A and B are shown apart, each in its own frame.
Chain A
Amino acid sequence: MASVAELILFGGPILTMEFSHPRAEAIAIAGGCIVAVGSKDEVMVHAGPQTRRVDLQGRTLLPGFIDAHGHFTNALQVVKWANIQRPPAGPVTSIASLQQVLQEHVQANPLQPGQWLVAYGYDPDGLSDGRPLDKRDLDPLFPDNPLMLIHNSNHGAVLNSCALKLVGYDASTPDPAGGVIVRLPGSTEPAGLVMETAFIPLFVHMPKPSEEELLERFGDAQQLYLSQGITTAQDGATSAADLGLFQKAAQQGRLLLDLVLLPLVLEVPAMLRERFPDFHGGSLELPQPARDAFGTYHQHLKLQGIKLLVDGSPQGKTAFWSEPLLTPGPNGEANWRGQPLFPPEVLNDTVAQLAGQGLQMFAHCNGDAAISMMIEACRKAGLSPEQDHRTVIIHSQFMVPGQLEQYVELGLHPSFFTVHAFFYGDVHIANLGLERASWMSPMASAIALGLHCSNHNDFSVTPIEPMRMMETAMTRRSRSGVVLGEHERVDVNAALRALTIEAAWQIREEDSKGSLAVGKRADLVVLDHDPTALTPEELLSINVVATVKDGVCVYGDLAGAVAG
């Protein structure tokens, strides 16, 4: 006796991500799960008098996208900030358009006297004016409110005069070691842009939203993901304070999508002290109940593994490479190759401790030297593929020959960051030369070796754009049109799998998510076009029609027009 479906979808391409039957004609859903997927005849057996039948009218159905790596916490901040990124991530093309964006933001979110206005994504290269922004462009707008326009590197900001006064930067303030206060021409008066160690002190002046305010932002923050078809999001460096916030949000039933947390290793001792005050183990020794807390969803929230940071970012030149860059370091250093964030002996010990407790590791490694450090730590900890430990090397960005083979040997798997080709590809070529830059996110080689490869946006480092992830995995083309590593381009199916089934595998959810198969969660996305039928460039014009989580439409309209 076939179970009766609540919802049956048919009438458009259904891409299952299953090798045995990549396409289906219809899909039936009941109780939040897929009860049938296959030919229309097979699926319609599950139709009953109460079943809602939706004709896709040629639109394409896929498994909901899985955010393989990103920072949901940042979404809670960004939803209240003005987006001053350049196209395609934002609307700013000139100083005038930037000023207009700020004014529109303030019209929609009126400022109290003295209240901060924060914007993100400032990129001087995206301005047609031929000069960078300075405080004189900002002062006439809101003279009584401090303005902070965060640089797209997240390592600096442009301030207006009100903000400069608040932090106490004036003509008499020297540049701090490891930082710069940019000056107006011919004077020592600050121009507005402050970077690195001159930027960091700003944070003590920023207002701290209350917990209640943050909880109220969960709705808007999740819409950023759901509107792009993402049904599982990640907070990829959870702090002790944010863990409590997320648990409260889950308990209050605020989560519409599944949220995967990776506690940041540095925060683990604080989390344990707060939750297990009577437990006195080593600093990274987790009591059994804490270990048991990993891997299971409670009200859409789960802890999955521990996040390690091995180096910084390549565009900020804080990644760790084995060979020097062609350009000076972030503070003008010659022969700069970046540096690790942890001493190797600490990394070795951390990896051994976490692996010994069976905790899954997600290690941020951008440069090849950071990757080598992590490989060495995993080797010393005795990791092997047979243990099925699924250690994920987040970014695996600038690899060198031989490292992927070591991933295979140790059972490490990459989560790549291919949109770097577009957003930073030209910068990487300048810093590293075309040959080294072409090794970024070597997805085709990794797949050929049988590795499980996901792809991510690292939100809020780049915007949440599944279609750009696909496009860049397929073209690896920079803004200026240079292809970085032609032979590492992948086909559309591999690009899609990196956002679905492979991403599910990396968080141990391949049995419940990532493809359309009987018994899996009914996490779905409906697109207005079939991505497998378009050129890579055309992917960017695809729109999300609807997003379904556990069988319930949580964004757009299954039967309606294309959503906003």
Chain B
Amino acid sequence: MNASSPLAALNGVPATVVGGYLGSGKTTLINGWLQDPAHRRWAVLVNDLGSINVDAERLRRGDGRVLELTDGCVCCTLRDGLGAALLELARRPDPPAHVLIETSGMAIPERVAAQLQLHGLTLARTLLVVDLERIEALWADPWVGELVQQQFAGVDVLQFSKGDRLEPSVVAERRRWLEQRLVELSEHPLPPVHEERQLARSDLWLQQVPISRAQLRAWASNLPAEVLRVKGEVWLAETPEGPVRFDRVGDRIELASAPQRPWRSALQRRGQLVAISRATAPSPSWPLAA
């Protein structure tokens, strides 16, 4: 994204994507998070395609923090609702400290996140809220089952809801069941689960000097359990031609063998990792430079 972009004011602004099927409890969680004074300068974009803006009405507080997205299919309307809302934010005299997007219940969160990144925002985390009461039924639903399954793609952390309405044994059983389904669905690590009702912590590390593959692995294997996930691209001494993808969930580390893309320019080599931790965790330590 270059300086003349109409969204230049949002360049590098962190963004959180909250996905989940209709009725999964996204709005309740977000409303709770927004009451935290630390989130005072956040902007919230609500895409309620699924529920025809009922939730937007509920979230509306009249303080200009909540913007609605109403885009249908881009091919019919030749409009981009997300882009239009971001333009409105970028034009404000006081740009938001953070952009939180509550996606429509029918959206694939990973795709919304991808568009935010193309618009120049920095992705802090993609969360998927999963309704433990309904997930089994929704997974096999003849109308929306495949969509519900697709929504798990590329999310960083799962956040369960409605578990308090079930017996603890049912919760455990259902989590095991979901884990099995997700293993069948993907070769990638399973998204870790965030248990607290606060927003999972997200920290960003900009890497200015290269490190070795061994250093990175050593650091990653010593992270505390409260770090749920670390994702991003790193600058490795062994592969100077481009950034290498990295993803760590629990004990499992995925580190690509070669860069999938070159650096934007030789002068702009830098790695970038996002660590998502429990809400109450301290800021994580980062690998030391060589």
A binds B: yes
Q: Is the CB of A178 within 8 A of B111?
A: yes
B72 to A237, Cβ gap below 8 A? yes
Q: Does B57 contact A269, Cβ atoms closer than 8 Å? A: yes
Contacts from B to A (Cβ < 8 Å): 1-2, 4-7, 21-23, 49-54, 56-57, 68, 70, 72-80, 82-84, 86-87, 105-106, 108, 110-111, 113-115, 117-120, 143-144, 146-147, 153-154, 242, 260-264
Tell me whether A313 and B144 are in contact (CB under 8 A): no
B83 touches A174 (CB 8 A): no
The answer on a CB contact under 8 Å between A341 and B52 is no
Lowest 5 A-B CB distances belong to which pairs? Answer: A176-B114, A154-B75, A178-B111, A203-B80, A204-B83
Given A316-B75, A350-B52, A340 contacting B144 (CB threshold 8 A): yes
Residues of chain B lying within 8 A (CB to CB) of residue A339: 106, 144, 146-147
Checking A166, A205, A340, A350 against B143 with a beta-carbon cut-off of 8 angstroms, the contacting residue is: A340
Of the candidate stretches A259-267, A483-491, A544-552, the one touching chain B is: A259-267
B73 x A309 contact (CB < 8 A):
yes
Residue total for A at the interface (Cβ-Cβ under 8 A) = 60
- Which residues of chain B have C-beta atoms less than 8 A from A268's C-beta? 52
Q: Which of A172-196 contact B (CB under 8 A)?
A: 172-174, 176-179, 188
Known contacts A200-B115, A340-B106, A344-B144; is-contact A168 B1 (Cβ 8 Å): yes
Majority DSSP secondary structure for residues of B touching A = loop
Chain A residues in 8 Å Cβ range of B83? 200-201, 203-204
Sample of 12 further A-B pairs with CB below 8 A, known A166-B4, A176-B117, A343-B22: A74-B78, A165-B2, A172-B264, A197-B111, A200-B82, A200-B115, A201-B80, A237-B72, A239-B79, A282-B54, A283-B53, A350-B52
Q: Give the CA-CA distance A264 to B81 in the complex, in Å.
A: 14
Q: Within 8 Å CB of B57, what residues of A?
A: 269, 283
Contact check, B261 vs A265: say whether CB atoms are below 8 A apart: no
Q: Within the assembled complex, what's the spacing in Å between the Cα atoms of A197 and B51?
A: 23
Would you give 25 A-B contacts (Cβ < 8 Å), ordered by A? A154-B75, A154-B78, A166-B2, A168-B5, A170-B264, A172-B242, A176-B114, A177-B108, A177-B154, A178-B110, A197-B114, A197-B118, A200-B80, A200-B82, A200-B83, A201-B119, A239-B70, A267-B70, A283-B57, A343-B105, A344-B143, A345-B22, A346-B52, A373-B143, A461-B75
Asked whether any CB of chain B lies closer than 8 Å to the CB of A539, the reply is no
Contact across chains for A205 and B70 when beta carbons are under 8 A apart: no
Q: Across the interface, do B76 and A309 meet the contact criterion of CB distance under 8 Å?
A: yes
Question: A residues within 8 A CB of B78?
Answer: 74, 77, 154, 203
CA distance A309 to B77 in the complex (A): 12
Structural contact, B70 and A201, CB atoms closer than 8 A = no
Cβ of A270 within 8 Å of any chain B Cβ, yes or no, is yes
The proximity string for A residues 461-475 relative to B, scoring 1 for CB distances below 8 Å and 0 otherwise, is 100000000000000
Does A318 touch B at the CB level, under 8 Å?
yes
